[in-house]
């Protein structure tokens, strides 16, 4: 293996992300739910993926749509019951699908019982379960830290006469993960879900979990007003995020997970020095993998971007983790729209899919990516996401990535619900509905099924070593090698035709036009070919 870890069923696995609010509504209230996901398991199975990552379904006031948790160990009635979750887990297991769930440890909802007690006074059993600090002499917040969602990272509590830290919304107070009792509680949350049978965790905003105890001001960061509209982006986040004490917690976390067998763990890391943090989190077996926003927030795709993102992960030491790679998720503009190249949306979806599946490590496919959905156009009056509303019109557009999956083109609301969905369905999406693509050989869905089959069946693609064999600005040549297999994947990531040396062997797939002239191939703009070399 490229990363030197022990063999695991998770090596090279393809994981399908489901955003429960928008997958399938079983009750007709316009919001997706756990029984709805359960009814679509055969679709996910046929896609061929190894596991499902469920975004939050826990009890929550839904100020941040489930990432503000008021009970870490219960299902929000919006999504069903704990029995519904157990049924989903059982049915998935029967058809060979593992379930991974989100865990939000850096913060809770302000409606959580822990915070209600902690905020009631300075002297109670949970007084230091959250991050509290006194005001400056002039009454201002303790330092200059800025919230990701806008404004200072500090909110005043009249009951305590102190500020509390909130890296996101004021209704999302930060837990004090330096407190060993809090760590025990969070380990208990993980144990609760492991005991129910989940097979892994995606650790949300893990870099936000532990702060500098001295509350040192962050230094200023140069910014471009067009690219960085948020005050948050005007600082280097050296002290509010990514403190080294997190590593001790992760070792305890790994020890717990190891008691349950081969458990998958992936960290979300959005820090300024994401690569360093991810590699620390995955070193020495702490976590299996981690991902950042290297691809998710990039406005352009290039060969250099791919090489620069992946190369630091190659040839890591024994026991060190590997990357998790994604081009789309619930927090970013869908790649089929974000990377605005001069080909059709269907062509883009297939090209980006072929690139993602060729890369080493774990890969994440976001619901609708396999259908080639473009980013939805959600008018301001229909927006739900607090980040989108706060930064309109210069937001990340998270609502546009969260609109419902279209299942049937001719049904009301594209088969997602019998009533108006919580977010509108884009007018372009019904034509790309699953029922329009199943059984059609040239469809984007069929192409993604082919990609998943190839990655499952070819050891070189799933677990083999990876290397880039050229450093051309326009052409990316990636070799994957495992056992007696060698896969060469060539991508022309430019607006001009490119000539490359031909590769002898079996062509596995092609996107766009690739012409043969002697011992040369001419790759049309934004095209690719995978070859199983002789």
Q: Where are the domains of the chain?
A: 14-106+180-210+245-447, 458-533
**What is d(CA 446, CA 228) in angstroms, rounded to the nearest whole number?**
38
Equal CATH topology for 14-106+180-210+245-447 and 458-533: no
Strands (E), 356-474: 362-366, 465-468
Percent helix, percent strand, percent coil in the chain, to nearest 5: 30, 20, 50
Q: How many CB atoms lie within 10 A of CB 133?
A: 15
- Residue 254: exposure state from Cβ atoms within 10 A (0-12, 13-18, ≥19): middle
Owner of token pair 């040369």: 520
- Residue 4 has what pLDDT? 39
Q: What is the pLDDT of residue 227?
A: 65
Q: Write the class of the CATH domain 14-106+180-210+245-447.
A: alpha beta
Could you tell me the two tokens for 443? 């469809």
Instruction: Please name the helix (run of DSSP H) or strand (run of DSSP E) that holds residue 310, with its range, or none.
Output: helix 303-310
Q: What is the pLDDT of residue 318?
A: 77
The CATH number, out of the four listed (3.30.70.360, 3.40.50.10680, 2.60.40.1180, 2.60.40.10), of the domain defined by the range 458-533: 2.60.40.1180
**What per-residue confidence (pLDDT) applies to 396?**
66
Task: State the Cα–Cα distance between residues 459 and 422, nearest whole angstrom.
Answer: 42
Tokens at residue 481, please? 């090698």
From first to last of its 534 residues, the chain has per-residue pLDDT tens of 333 346 799 999 999 999 999 999 999 999 999 999 999 999 999 999 999 999 999 999 999 999 999 999 999 999 999 999 999 999 999 999 999 999 999 999 999 999 999 999 999 999 999 999 999 999 999 999 999 999 999 999 999 999 999 999 999 999 999 999 999 999 999 999 999 999 999 999 999 999 999 999 999 998 877 666 689 989 999 999 999 999 999 999 999 999 999 999 999 999 889 999 999 999 999 999 999 999 999 999 999 999 999 999 998 887 898 999 999 999 999 999 999 999 999 999 999 999 999 999 999 999 999 999 999 999 999 999 998 898 888 776 799 999 999 999 999 999 999 999 999 999 999 999 999 999 999 999 999 999 999 999 999 999 999 999 988 999 999 999 998 999 999 999 999 999 999 999 999 999 999 999 889 999 999 999 999 999
Is the link from the previous residue into 393 a cis peptide, with omega within 30 of 0? yes
What's the pLDDT score for residue 390? 85
Catalytic residues: 204, 268
Q: What is the pLDDT of residue 2?
A: 38
- The partner residues of 16 in beta bridges, in order of sequence, read 52, 365
For 231-240, give one letter per residue: b (16+ CB within 10 A) or e. Answer: ebebbebbbb
CA distances (Å), 421 to each of 333, 384, 418, 476, 513, in order? 20, 12, 8, 41, 40
Cβ–Cβ under 8 Å, residues 49 and 16: yes
């Amino acid at each position: 293996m490229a990363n030197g870890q022990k063999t695991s069923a998770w090596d090279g696995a393809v994981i399908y992300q489901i955003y429960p609010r928008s997958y399938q509504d079983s009750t007709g209230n316009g919001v997706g739910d756990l029984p709805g996901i359960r009814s679509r398991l055969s679709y996910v199975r046929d896609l061929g993926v190894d596991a499902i990552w469920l975004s939050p379904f826990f009890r929550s006031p839904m100020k941040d749509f489930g990432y503000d948790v008021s009970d870490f160990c219960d299902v929000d009635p919006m999504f069903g019951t704990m029995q519904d979750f157990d049924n989903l887990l059982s049915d998935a297991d029967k058809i060979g699908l593992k379930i991974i769930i989100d865990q939000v440890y850096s913060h809770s909802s302000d409606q959580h019982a822990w915070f209600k007690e902690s905020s009631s006074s300075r002297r109670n059993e949970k007084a230091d379960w959250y991050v509290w600090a006194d005001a400056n002499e002039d009454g201002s917040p303790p330092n200059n830290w800025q919230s990701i969602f806008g404004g200072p990272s500090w909110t005043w509590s009249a009951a305590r006469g102190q500020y509390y830290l909130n890296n996101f919304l004021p209704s999302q107070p930060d837990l004090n993960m330096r407190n060993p009792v809090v760590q025990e509680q969070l380990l208990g949350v993980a144990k609760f879900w492991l005991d129910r049978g989940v097979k892994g965790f995606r650790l949300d905003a893990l870099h936000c979990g532990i702060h500098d105890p001295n509350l040192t001001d962050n230094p200023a960061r140069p910014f471009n007003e067009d690219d960085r509209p948020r005050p948050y982006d005007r600082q280097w986040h050296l002290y509010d995020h990514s403190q080294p004490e997190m590593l001790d917690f992760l070792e305890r976390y790994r020890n717990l997970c190891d008691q349950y067998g081969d458990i998958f763990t992936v960290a979300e890391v959005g820090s300024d020095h994401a690569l360093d943090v991810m590699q620390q989190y995955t070193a020495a077996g702490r976590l299996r993998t981690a991902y950042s926003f290297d691809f998710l927030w990039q406005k352009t795709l290039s060969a250099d971007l791919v090489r620069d993102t992946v190369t630091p992960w190659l040839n890591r030491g024994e026991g060190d983790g590997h990357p998790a790679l994604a081009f789309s998720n619930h927090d970013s503009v869908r790649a089929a729209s974000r990377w605005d190249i001069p080909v059709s949306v269907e062509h883009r979806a297939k090209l980006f899919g072929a690139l993602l599946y060729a890369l080493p490590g774990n890969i994440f496919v976001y619901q609708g990516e396999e259908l080639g959905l473009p980013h939805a156009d959600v008018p301001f009056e229909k927006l739900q996401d607090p980040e989108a509303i706060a930064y309109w019109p210069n937001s990340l557009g998270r609502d546009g990535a969260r609109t419902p999956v279209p299942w049937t083109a001719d049904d009301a609301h594209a088969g997602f619900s019998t009533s108006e969905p919580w977010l509108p369905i884009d007018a372009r999406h019904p034509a790309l509905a699953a029922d329009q693509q199943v059984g059609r050989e040239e469809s984007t869905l069929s192409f993604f099924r082919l990609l998943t089959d190839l990655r499952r069946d070819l050891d070189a693609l799933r677990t083999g070593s990876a290397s880039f064999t050229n450093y051309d600005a326009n052409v990316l040549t990636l070799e994957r090698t495992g056992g007696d297999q060698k896969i060469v994947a060539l991508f022309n990531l430019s607006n001009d035709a490119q000539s490359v040396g031909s590769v002898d062997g079996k062509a596995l797939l092609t996107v766009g036009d690739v012409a043969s002239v002697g011992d040369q191939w001419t790759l049309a703009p934004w095209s690719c070919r995978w070859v199983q070399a002789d």
